Every structure is written in C-alpha cells, then in structure tokens.
Amino acid sequence: MDGRYQMEMRVGEGGMAYVYRAKDRQSGRTVAVKVLMSRLTGDQEAVARLRREAQVAMRLDHPNVCGILEWGEAGGMPYLVMPFLEGETLSRRETRHGPMPATLAVPFLRQLCRGLQHAHSAGILHRDLKPENVMLVTEDSGSEHAVVMDFGLAKESVAGPEVMKLTATGIVLGTPEFMSPEQIRGKPLDARSDIFALGVLGFEMLTGRLPFEGNTGQDTMLAHLTGQPMRLRQVNPELSARLERVIAQSMAHRADDRFASMQEFEEALDGTEETT
C-alpha cells in the first residue's frame, strides 16, 4: 500500500472498510490499515466520511482512545493508519465469557469515561459506542486496558457545512441498541448522548443482557423512546445498589437527568465494584 505498508492479513471489517495488520517499512512498526471497500471508492460521501474520521481522530491523544497516525490515498483507494492494538474487542470477550464481574467491568468503564472525556473536551462526540468499538488491549505486564475505537460516526460540536452535511441532525446514524432517545429522534446531541450509550454498554458488560429489549431494531428504538430500562440488580442481585443507581442515572430518559459529563460519570463509578 503506497509503497510503504506491507499488508499481512485482514483482521476486521465494518460496513464501509476493511482493517488489515500491516508492517510499516519505514519504521518497522506493526500498524493497522483501514481501507475503504472497493465498491465505495467512487462514493464521495463514503470517502469524505473516512477522511473526516482521520481528521477527527488525529486530534486525539489519550491511552484510552485509538488515534490515527496517517491518512492517505493509493491508486484512488483511501486509507488510514492506526496503531495496531494487541487484544480483542469487547464484543468478542462477551461472546466468549459472558457477563464480567464488576471488579473487571467497572475499571474498564472508568477508563472509557476518561477516553471519551478527552474526546468531548476536544469537541468530539463518538455517537456509535458499542462493544464492537471497544478494544481490550493486553499490556506487556499481562494486564488490560480499554480503548475506544472507530470515530467513523463522530461529530464535532463546532463543524463546518461539509461536516454538518455528513452528520446532519435528522438523519439517524448509530446502532439502535445503544442510541439515546434524542439520537433516535434525530435531535441535537451533546456529551450526554454518549453517556447514555456507555451506560447501556456497561449494563450489557455486567449482565450479558440489554436494558431495553426488542425483537427488531425498530422495536428496540421504540423501547428506548417509551420504555423503562431494566434495573441492574433485577438481572444480577449480587451487584451493588450504588452501581445500579449510577448505571440507571447514565441511562435516564431525559438528558438533563443524566451525568453532565464523562468525568462526573467516572467519579460516580468509583468504588461501585464492591458487592452488597
């Protein structure tokens, strides 16, 4: 790729792009290269979205966020280069092991809060938090930390007309199971929408179930708009009452009733892994 990146193997794919493990011949470093699918290379909006993902993520520098090293185009094929993270996605971990004990899940949630607070402080909302977009990265010591991936649907709080067109209010983008009521309605979003999504993600991590359930994506969105989420301790009574209250507040129907920031959410999670 571009005479620099030696592609080794495909390691993932999404709706728009493939991700490959590759060797950077200049530095000798192993990297991940995200390449737009060939059927989309002529789609100006898809190309613009990938370019904007690179522009957004290149502004981020935090241990709990996967940033972008470089953006390029080779033979008309757009690509972006990211650090290659050793580990597995949260979705794969959940599939293999089911619900996490609070002693594991709460520290991961707090790390995700810190990474997302960094993005929000830079004026960037994620808008598509879900287990597939969280990587559990293995460190040399054998311990793990959580990293937010894929800012493909990210939206800047202050953006130019081209960006606004790509992420226009009134167009529902995201994953139904994790979307806030205001995101489903196509209303203006702020950090509290990501807080809602992280609360849903935390509920699933801790219980193996979603707090709002439906047979289809449409049913799930309707449940988000009209229903009350399950309480955490309905599913797992061993979890602490404090943790139940914190997760419930993060998923409050009205944005004003949620935590005001990821920092506030993270501080509220402190010590909640203790069982009752």
Instruction: Determine the Cα–Cα distance for residues 11 and 36; give it in Å rounded to an integer.
Output: 14
Mean of per-residue pLDDT scores for the chain: 86
pLDDT of residue 261: 98
pLDDT in tens, 251-267: 999 999 999 999 999 99
pLDDT at residue 164 is higher than 70: no
Q: Which domains does the chain have, with CATH numbers?
A: 5-83 (3.30.200.20), 87-269 (1.10.510.10)
Does pLDDT of 131 surpass 60? Answer: yes
Is 273 or 43 the better-scoring residue by pLDDT?
Answer: 273
Whole-angstrom CA distances from 119 to 50, 188, 191, 225 are 18, 18, 10, 27
Assess whether pLDDT exceeds 50 at residue 162: no
Instruction: Determine how many CB atoms are found less than 10 A away from the CB of residue 112.
Output: 28
Q: What is the pLDDT of residue 160?
A: 37
CB atoms inside a 10 Å sphere around CB 109: 29
Active site residues: 128
Q: Please write down the long-range contacts of 141-146, taking CB distance under 8 Å and 24 or more positions apart.
A: 144/87, 144/108, 145/63, 145/64, 145/108, 145/111, 146/64, 146/90, 146/108, 146/109, 146/111, 146/112, 146/115
Each residue of 64-94: pLDDT tens digit? 999 888 888 887 778 889 899 999 999 999 9
- Rounded to whole angstroms, the Cα distance separating 183 from 255 reads 11
pLDDT of residue 168: 35
> What per-residue confidence (pLDDT) applies to 13?
80
Task: Please report the pLDDT score of residue 248 as a whole number.
Answer: 96
In this prediction, residue 145 has a pLDDT band, given cuts at 50, 70 and 90, of: very high
Looking at the predicted structure, is the pLDDT value of residue 154 above 50? yes
